[in-house]
Chains A and B, each alone.
Chain A
Amino acid sequence: MRQKRKEQINREARDLVIERIRASSDNLRISIGSTEYSKQEILKSIKEDTNLGKEIIDAQLEYLRSVASGAIYR
């Protein structure tokens, strides 16, 4: 039961990040390691569950948690 709930939360978090990226500016690119990524490439990496996709999800969720907790404003 707990495992099922965890999987559901992970799926919802992933969907939230996908929507955030989808709504983001087409002009933004990010460089990680020796590669640059466009919005479409980021979306693809999240959908395909690559290491980059996992890093992006972690970064986005960590940020949202910090905004929600107020850590960013301290």
Chain B
Amino acid sequence: MNSTLLLTRPNHDIGTNYLCYWSELAVKETRGFKILDLMGEKANRVNFTSYVLKHKPAIIFMNGHGSEDVICGQDNEIIVERNKNEYLLKNSVVYARSCDAGKRLGLDCVKKGTLAFIGYKRKYILGFSTQYITRPIADPVAKLFLEPSNLIIKSLLKGNTVRKALQKSKEEMLRNIRFMLSDSALMEQRDAAPYLWANINSQVEIGDLDIEI
């Protein structure tokens, strides 16, 4: 399988800005993979289509808003749409850090040839601290949400199966939840625990989980 990862990371509002900064950390150690980075304005449908067709990435890591039928890029431009162009995700392992896309779009993608699709069947919730909006990487609340989520991509780049990558990510989320319940947690970290728990429960994985890239 070709060693290319395609990353989309729009940054047009606070939520996407957090995802944008944190996704860069997920692909920092490339482990021999070529990283194609569609950041900000570059995260649009034309670029996405062209990059996928040209490079046939083994992993597609999408950040941005979504629904049961679409995943969006910069300024909420639809990049992937159910019954329109989900064939673009064929033969790739996809992680969509977007709301709701795991519910219907993910299923259809796998039916049409996506090897595995990881997403969320409900809203993806991100907790963050008002004191760190201009420094997303230093945000002690967002860290608890985005570090374990990044671990999915980090583990795939290391050559783990999809199943193993998900297991590692889930274990870290559970560790974070237990930390949030402890006396060592900041008040805002503790209060964010229900939302991290909601993400754990809404994460779905569809397709061949034993695939290794």
Contacts and interface: CB of A to CB of B under 8 A. Distances in A.
Nearest to B127: A30
Interface residues of A, number: 25
Contacts of A32: 99, 123-126
Question: How many interface residues does chain B have, given as a range?
Answer: 20 to 34
A66 interface: yes
Q: Is the interface of A mostly helix, strand, loop or mixed?
A: mixed
Contacts of A64: 194
Q: Is the interface of B mostly helix, strand, loop or mixed?
A: helix
B191 A31 contact: no
Interface string B109-148: 0000000000000111111111100000000010000000
Given A34-B15, A55-B123, A62-B198, A28 B192 contact: yes
Interface of B: 13-15, 18, 65, 76, 99, 122-131, 141, 174, 177-178, 181, 186-188, 191-195, 197-198, 201
Interface of A: 24-36, 38, 55, 58-60, 62-64, 66-67, 72-73
